[in-house]
A and B are shown apart, each in its own frame.
Chain A
Amino acid sequence: MSQSNRIKTGGRIDRNKPVSFTFDGKTFQGFEGDTLASALLANNVHLMGRSFKYHRPRGVLSAGSEEPNAIVTIGSGKRSDPNTRATVVEMFDGLEASSQNCWPSLNFDIGGINNKLSRFFPAGFYYKTFMWPKSMWMKYEEIIRASAGMGVAPEEGDPDTYAVKHEYCDVLIAGGGPAGLSAALTAGRTGARVILIDEQNEFGGSLLSDHGAEIDGKPAMDWVDAALAELKEMEEVTILNRTAVIGYFDHNFITAMEKITDHLGPQDSNDTPRQRFWKIRAKQVVLASGSFERPMLFGDNDRPGVMLASAVRTYINRYGVLPGKDMVVFTNNDSAYKTALDAFANGGRVEIVDTRVDPKGPLVEQARSLDITIHTNAAIVGTKGYRRLKGVEVMELNEAGDGVKGTKFHIGCDVVAMSSGWNPAVNLFSQARGKLRYDEELTSFVPDHCQWDNYSVGSCNGTFTLEGALSEGLEAGLKAAQAAGFGEGQSVPATPSAPEVEHGDMRTLWYIPMDRPLARGKKHFHEFQNDSTVADIHLAAREGYISVEHLKRYTTTGMGTDQGKTSNVNAIAIMAQIRGVSIPQVGTTTFRPPFVPVTFGAIAGHDVEDLFLQARKTPMHSAHDRNGAIYEDVGDWKRPYYFPKAGEDMHAAVQRECKAVRDSVGIMDGSTLGKLDIQGKDASRLLNLLYTNAWSKLAPGKCRYGLMCNEHGMVFDDGVTTCIGENHYHMTTTTGGAGRVANWIEEWIQTEYPDWDVYATSVTEQWAVSILNGPKSRKVLEKLVDIDLSAEAFPFMAMKECHIAGVPARIYRISFTGELSYEINVPARYGLHVWDALLEAGEEFDICQYGTETMHVLRAEKGFIIAGQDTDGSVTPMDLDMDWIVSKKKGDFLGRRSFTRTDTARTDRKQLVGVLTEDPNVVLMEGAHLVRELKDKPPMDMLGHVTSSYMSPNCGRSIAMALIRDGKNLKGQSFMVPTMSGKAHKVTITDPIFFDKENKRIDGEPS
């Protein structure tokens, strides 16, 4: 029968909106306002999942986000959401759910065999076996892996979008039950910026399930509605439902995840994000996150149908579902009597098993007056039923509560509603480094003190009465607002009256004894998801894993997706019992974010695909696209790598480009080079500090190359710096080093030499840079500029300001190829204009656009280094054979002192040399090593590695550079370069200049 467990009336579901949904392919009916769990329960489906290790059938335990058992997959394909708690999935028409961790079906799961063999699989069993034969471990592991895990990963290509939002507030309130709402009221009334957050669809917290509760003589939900109405009118109050506070970090940084469309089901358009991740900075935080009920730990307490008492009450009152007709309430306190009474009122047959010898108080009396059977001083010692609870076995407890006596009797039932007390939800407080205190009376941990500004109120503070929650909330809300600078002089309003029946004492038994010793037959699960039992805790203690952290890791208790919300305290208490120490002496494990699992998609927000990370483009990028460039990623930049013509592969294109430059003229985009404008009387002093060579005498209009070292004396960047005018320089850096060099400069001038008259400002993007290279470059440029380009008028290492193609430019005659070269800098807006003009002007010379690879080949032909490729942070200028650039006269500079340290001063360090292969057609792989002596197989003594290696069409052979131990002294000698495939190439160490050794080409063709 459809919805056989649905109560005729009542609940907060919308009976006018029936929906249908499927679970494991079978169709069911429910209502809007249901959760997947409540709708399944309405249909009398309790079996919702299988446990992690023993594959035991499991039903729903709770009605909230603490659910360890009812874990399902929602949706399918690209929209499948594995490991979802059925208790937090809001129902919509067409919802598709399926069970996990079972095969072939939930009902009949082969993995259930693990349960039969569970005796051989106690906690940590895998540490003791699978070691022989050694070679078999990887096979065993595969089996372990396949049987572990839970849901199946979704297909890639998530169709949904996600968003992130930063927010600030004066008071953030986590939890919108009575405590949170009242805090919001007093905080909101001060005009402070308040954010009120609750993870559920509706506000009211426990009041949503508490149909009898009254505030000021009216139903408590009337008060909730009025509070919300008032809050909605407040301009500075933000109210977020369906939003879980998941992280509480330093300096009151709070993260939260809002579900925006999850409850609506798959959307056609993804304009609206599925979820929003909030990053909130709060001046003050009020934690009002309620409490978790504790399960009773008795034999086979995990059968589908065994639920928390408060959850049963929620299903009855909030969802209009009576989870079963025959209920046994098993409790050690009065609160579960409310469940019994509500079940009874809704036609359930109810019996109560109470561990207390003589429970009294109004709730107990009320139950008695209704003739509900109460078995006192009694306990459930076992259950009947496998896929569904069929009954319980009950016995009388002994005085100490550590054993049972008398005869066992059986009660047939299909639901157990259990309660062994409450644990304040201290998770967020604890994440925030809050220290906990153990409260003997409540038998639970409560907040003590915290270094960040927050208040815990209501049941998360161990205050379990409605009036208490209201009054703490009202007070904390105002106090928090006042601490944030609002509501001066306001006083806390009177607490509305919310009379409650008196609760009697509890009788806390951390686990329920059986008529047999522990671990014989029935299992007492304290941690449901990972199948951790009370016997496992005993085993851990027996084996010495007595620290609470060892206990956790050895038994995996609390390591599931629920992070032990319902189990941690029980485990700790049992360990304390075993060790004979107090509970606080055992201590808690650490609460960590997130409070509930959060999707990676939400955290990533819009930072996906094209927006994942900026792709920086130069002003000429559209021309490169047009001209068929293939790009290389250099840092964040997209740089043309080469420009293939039809039918060319990379090799062919690069060979052609290399020749074209030296034979005629080529053009490349150099805009990505780092650029800094440096001004001030102490500018040259700064250059002298940064670079290894001397800078005092550079005349305006002149350029100079420099190397920079860090204080370890190792090269970290290089580039050309030009004197623009008096006390004014333009520095260039490598593309990748731009940011680093800029920071380096700021560090020195701001922190060490703040008195110097010098300023540096990045101008990298100000200038678009087209670089002409090759003997014909003067011919090309001539057509476009208004200055004399003759070598006399515009010599090498000079800069001229002029106009090109009608726009202002700075042209630098510097060269990274050894050819006549002009680096043409124009304001970025004109970059494309000038590039196109140059291409047009160069047409008659067959001007060749080339990319970074050709640039690399050409510079290698000349033996010029690339910082970061031919250096690696362990190379000094001397190692590069660049002693000439290290000034001996100018005094101190960064890194200089390090050159004389014993290791750095060694003369047999790795040094940069040229390497030529015996076979000119062999191009060594970059990174290949030279060995002193070739052996049949490794290990071989390595001399150093090839840093750069190319086929050079201009040399007509392959060329390479390498960093070789004592390389300077090995020139002329031959060595072998073994490859990974087992072959080896013979090479000779040479000078690293392969082309135009005399530097004759620098002035190009005479004009």
Chain B
Amino acid sequence: MVETAIKKVSPLDGLAGPVGGNVKLTSNGFVGKVIIRGDSDNKDFVMAVKDVTGVEIPTTALTFNEGETYSIYWMGPDEWMIMTPEDGEVALETALREKLGETPSQVVNVSDYYASMRLSGPAAREVLKKGSPLDLHPSKFKAGNCTGTRFAHATIFMVQRDEEPTYDINVRISFAEYLWNYFVEASREFG
């Protein structure tokens, strides 16, 4: 077998960020992401996820629960995303699948499907408002919320981390360069 140094490549590698200080844009690297589908009314399902991750499945729409290693995000009434530190996803996937056994569910590793980037700074909200039809007012969408929505032509899954505000934005990797460049261009006027 030929041995070469293994390199991981992200579509965000090498992209220039915004120029001024009011918007920051960074890549979140290779955060592990696993989608889990199932019925939150089914105790076996809920328990299995809790057992493996140590985190309760959030059943309130647009919220997430954070644990020590894992955090679980509501994506839909029967769909959640579990985030893990880099390279934790395969072990998680295996553990979940094992634990869930016959329980109706789906476990899918989507770590590479989504690129994750962080948009923050005083003008971050203004940048998002350029492409997203979501009401981002601090009283409507705040730290602790997450949701699927749209930004320009991309479907995104967005998490608000704090009130700075800081947003983590997940997007299919094939849209990542487009979205990044859009954010950069949209930031230009804010310096």
Contact = CB atoms under 8 A, between A and B. Distances in A.
A–B contact, 8 Å CB criterion (strictly below): yes
Interface of A: 161, 163-168, 193, 271-273, 279, 281, 605-607, 610-611, 613-619, 622, 636-637, 677, 679-681, 757, 759, 761-768, 783-786, 805-808, 827-833, 836-837, 840-841
Interface in B81-126: 90, 104-114, 126
B7 interface: yes
Contact of B130 (A605, A680, A807): A605
Instruction: Rank and list the top 4 A-B pairs by shortest CB-CB distance, nearest first.
Output: A759-B106, A616-B174, A828-B112, A614-B178
Contacts of B111: 766, 827
A806 B106 CA distance: 27
5 contacts: A611-B178, A622-B9, A636-B174, A761-B37, A829-B112
A606 B185 contact: yes
Given A613-B153, A761-B35, A167 B129 contact: yes
A163 B2 contact: no
B6 to A, nearest CB: 5
A637 B174 contact: yes
Contact of B90 (A764, A808, A837): A808
Contacts of A785: 1
A828 B153 contact: no
A132 B175 CA distance: 58
B142 interface: no
B7 A614 contact: no
Interface in B110-160: 110-114, 126, 129-135, 137, 140, 152-154
Nearest to B187: A271
B3 interface: yes
Nearest to A683: B106
A757 B109 CA distance: 19
Interface in B34-54: 35, 37
B112 A767 contact: yes
B105 A759 contact: yes
A677 B107 CA distance: 9
A832 B7 contact: yes
Contact of B37 (A613, A759, A767, A837): A759
B11 A617 contact: yes
Nearest to A621: B11
B84 to A, nearest CB: 14
Given A611-B185, A614-B154, A765-B112, A806 B3 contact: yes
B173 interface: yes
Contacts of B130: 163-166, 605-606
Given A611-B152, A829-B9, A833-B6, A271 B188 contact: yes
Contacts of A767: 112
Contact of B8 (A622, A784, A829): A829
A167 to B, nearest CB: 7
B177 interface: yes
B8 A830 contact: yes
B26 to A, nearest CB: 17
B6 A163 contact: no
Contacts of A807: 6
Interface string B1-23: 11110111111000000000000
B112 A611 contact: no
B1 A272 contact: no
A543 to B, nearest CB: 48
A66 B44 CA distance: 68
B112 A272 contact: no
Contacts of A619: 9, 11, 173
Contacts of B174: 614, 616-618, 636-637, 764-765
Contacts of B161: none
A757 to B, nearest CB: 4
A959 B152 CA distance: 44
A679 B37 CA distance: 10
Contacts of B37: 679, 759, 761
B62 interface: no
Contacts, number: 149
A786 B1 CA distance: 8
Nearest to A613: B153
A762 B179 CA distance: 20
A679 B113 contact: no
Given A271-B189, A762-B113, A783-B2, A611 B135 contact: no
A466 B4 CA distance: 81
A336 to B, nearest CB: 45
A616 B107 CA distance: 26
Nearest to A833: B7
Given A679-B107, A757-B104, A168 B135 contact: yes
Contacts of B78: 759
Contacts of A841: 2
A617 B3 contact: no
B108 A163 contact: no
A637 B178 CA distance: 12
A677 B6 CA distance: 26
Given A761-B106, A833-B4, A611 B181 contact: yes
B129 A166 contact: yes
Nearest to B8: A829
Contacts of B107: 679
Contacts of B109: 766, 827
A132 B177 CA distance: 59
Residue in B30, B173, B188 with the greatest tally of chain A CB atoms within 10 Å: B173
A806 B5 CA distance: 9
Nearest to B14: A622
Contacts of B175: 614, 616
Contacts of B179: 614
A606 B179 CA distance: 12
Given A168-B140, A763-B108, A807-B6, 8 more contacts: A271-B191, A279-B133, A607-B153, A680-B106, A761-B106, A762-B113, A786-B1, A833-B9
Contact of A784 (B2, B106, B178, B182): B2
B82 to A, nearest CB: 13
A834 B3 CA distance: 11
A839 to B, nearest CB: 11
A831 B8 CA distance: 8
A761 B173 contact: no
A166 B113 contact: no
Nearest to A270: B188
A163 B9 contact: no
Contacts of B10: 829
Nearest to B189: A272
Nearest to B102: A681
A160 to B, nearest CB: 12
B110 A614 contact: no
B153 A163 contact: no
Contacts of A764: 113, 172, 174
A681 to B, nearest CB: 7
A837 B3 CA distance: 9
A237 B117 CA distance: 31
A638 to B, nearest CB: 10
A558 to B, nearest CB: 33
A610 B181 contact: yes
A484 B126 CA distance: 24
A827 B111 CA distance: 8
Given A616-B175, A763-B108, A783-B1, A607 B152 contact: yes
A765 B113 contact: yes
B9 to A, nearest CB: 5
A763 B181 contact: no
A681 B181 contact: no
B30 A829 contact: yes
Given A606-B182, A829-B112, A163 B189 contact: yes
B173 A828 contact: yes
A835 to B, nearest CB: 10
Most buried by B among A161, A193, A272, A759: A759
Nearest to B132: A166
B9 A831 contact: yes
A434 B102 CA distance: 58
A13 B40 CA distance: 67
Nearest to B186: A606
